[in-house]
Structure 1
Amino acid sequence: MKMVQYLIGVLMMTIVATQAVAGEINAADGVAISGYDAVAYFKQEKPVKGLETYSVTYKDALFLFASADNRDAFQANPETYAPQYGGYCAYGTASGYKAPIDPAAFTITGGKLYLNYNKGVQKSWRQDTTGYIRKADENWPVVKTQ
C-alpha cells in the first residue's frame, strides 16, 4: 500500500512539475508558433517560416519572422499580431486546457490570430467561432496558469 501511495505521489509531482514548465506562451524550445512568422499570417494569409536572423523576445518566448519589416511590425505592436491564448490551440482553450498547435491550422477573426491543434479541430472551431472565442476568453485566465 505504501508503494502505491509513493508512486501516486511521484506521479502527482511529475504532473505538477510538467504543468509548471508550460508557460503563458506556447514555445517549444523557447520558440513560439513552431518558428512561424506571426505577422505573415496577416500579411500573406498563410503560415511562413521565420528566420532566427529576424527575431523578437516577447513574454519570455522567441518569435521568428521572415523579414525585418515583419519583425519591426510585431515589435511595434505585439498585441496586434501575437496569437490568441498564448499560441495554444484556441479550441483546447475553449474546452479548458492547453493543447499544441499545427501552424497550418489557423483562422483570423476580428483581426486576431487563432491557432488550432490540427485541420480537423480547425473545422470544428470554424463551425462556431464566436461561441468558442467567448468560451476561450472566459477560460484563458485559468488555462494560462496550467
Structure 2
Amino acid sequence: MSHPINLTEQNVAINGYDPVSYFVDQPLPGNPDIAATYGEATYYFANAENKAKFEADPEAYVPQYGGFCAVAVSEGKLVPVNPETYKVTDNKLYLFYNGEGGNTKPQWEADETTMKNNADAAWAKGDFV
C-alpha cells in the first residue's frame, strides 16, 4: 500500500524545510539548489552535509505519517502542518498543524503514547477522511 505524502504543488516535502536540520539543531528552510528525491518527494537541504546524511539513510529523517499532522492522523484525517511545529521522539520526526484552528502539538504531548498508537494504527489502515 502506498501512503499519501504531504507535498507542495512542486512535490516538495516539509514545505521546503531541511529534514536533517530537525535532528541537528532546529528546523531550517532548505535550499532548492541542494535537493534530493526520495520516493515521490523532493527534499531541500540547508547544506551539502545534511543532504549527504539524508542520502545515506533517508528513512532516518523523513517525517512520520507522510509529513501530515500527527494528531490529525491519529483521528483518521490528513491535515497540513506548520513545519516549525514539531517534535522528535525516539529519533522520529513528528509534525503538527499550527494555524487558525490552534496548535495541535500540546494535544499530542498530553498523551503521546496513546496518540502515537492511534496514529500508527490509522496510518497502517490507510483509511483517511
Whether TM-score is above 0.5 comes out as yes
| Bigger helix fraction | 1
Q: Contact 2:76–2:128 (CA<8 Å) still a contact in 1? A: no
Kindly report which structure 2 residues correspond to 1:9-20, keeping only aligned pairs within 5 A, or say none.
none
Per the TM alignment, residue 142 of structure 1 is displaced from its structure 2 partner at its CA by 3.2
C-alpha contact 1:93 1:143 (8 A) present in aligned 2: no
Alignment match, 2:44: 64
The answer as to whether partners of 1:37 and 1:63 remain within 8 angstroms in 2 is yes
Instruction: State the number of aligned residues.
Output: 123
Gaps of 5+ in 2: none
Larger radius of gyration: 1
- Normalising by structure 2, we get a TM-score of 0.89
In structure 2, C-alpha distance between the alignment counterparts of 1:84 and 1:144, rounded to whole Å? 16
Question: 1:43 and 1:126 mapped to 2: Cα distance?
Answer: 21
Q: Which amino acid aligns with 1:43?
A: V
Percent of aligned pairs with the same residue?
Answer: 39
CA shift, 1:143, in A, is 3.4
Structure 1 residues 35-87: Cα deviation after superposition (integer angstroms, max 9, x where no partner): 0000000001x210000111111121110000111011111101100000010
How far apart, CA to CA, are the structure 2 residues paired with 1:104 and 1:81?
Answer: 15
Sort the Cα spacing of 1:63 and 1:144 in 2 relative to 1 into closer, same or farther, 3 A. Answer: farther
Indicate the SS of the match to 1:31: coil
TM-score (norm 1): 0.79
Q: How far off its partner does 1:144 sit?
A: 7.0
The runs of at least 4 aligned residues of structure 1 exceeding 3 Å deviation read 142-146
SS at 1:136 equivalent: helix
What are the ranges of 5 or more consecutive residues in structure 1 without an aligned counterpart? 1-22
